[in-house]
Amino acid sequence: MTDRRQLLLDAAIRVLGTGGPRQLTHRAVDAEAGLPEGSASNRFRTREALVTGVFDRLVEVETAAWQRLAADLPPGDVAAFAAVVGRLIREFTDQQRVVTLARYALFVEAAVRPDLRPAIEAARARLAGWGEPLLATLGSADPPAHFRMLLALVDGLLSNQLASPDDGFDPEAAVATLLRGLRAG
């Protein structure tokens, strides 16, 4: 990815994550990036192209976070896995809050723009390719179904913490409880 393209997409993520979908315009992205007017529309001719670029960049940023946190994960260790997922959730609701809000804004947009859904499903499939084998090492009898449950829990924890921040937020406990239940079930 070229530096200018990444600069524009990172600016678009900030616009989307701080102002919501209505604020995502080429002009707003230019201003956020500190570039001359017309820069974003030169790279992304339509809003749809900009939204697609933003989604691809979000996947790149979030995949890097998952991979970084899980790099040294010992196989079969529920507590370690829960700790990694808990750290990731905390990161996505703190340092990466704007990125997470931008992702949720795109999910809402996908509800009315079916053309975004295949990209979302492809990203989930890539994430499942990473997560399902890990769940198998934790003793899951049905890694695909259990991974979907884990993602639902993570999304719920993220949504709740973003909408109503709690200083005592402990995502690890919820993740560990789910994982233990999946092993037993």
Query: Tens of pLDDT along 36-71?
Result: 999 999 999 999 999 999 999 999 988 888 888 777
pTM above 0.85, yes or no: yes
Taken in order of first residue, the domains within the chain and their CATH numbers are 54-184 (1.10.357)
- Specify the pLDDT at position 19: 96
Single out the residue of 141, 147, 145 nearest to residue 184, CA to CA: 141
Distance of alpha carbon 96 from alpha carbon 91, whole angstroms: 6
At residue 7, does pLDDT exceed 90?
yes
* pLDDT level of residue 185 (50, 70, 90 thresholds): low
- Specify the pLDDT at position 146: 96
| First-to-final CA distance of the chain | 44
* pLDDT level of residue 4 (50, 70, 90 thresholds): very high
Over residues 136-165, the mean pLDDT reads 95
pLDDT, tens digit, 9 for 90 and up, residues 73-85: 888 899 999 999 9
- Specify the pLDDT at position 184: 66
Query: Would you say the C-alpha torsion 158, 161, 162, 164 has a positive or negative sign?
Result: positive
Distance of alpha carbon 167 from alpha carbon 119, whole angstroms: 34
The 3-state DSSP composition of the chain as helix, strand, coil percent (nearest 5) reads 80, 0, 20
pLDDT, tens digit, 9 for 90 and up, residues 78-116: 999 999 999 999 999 999 999 999 999 999 989 998 988
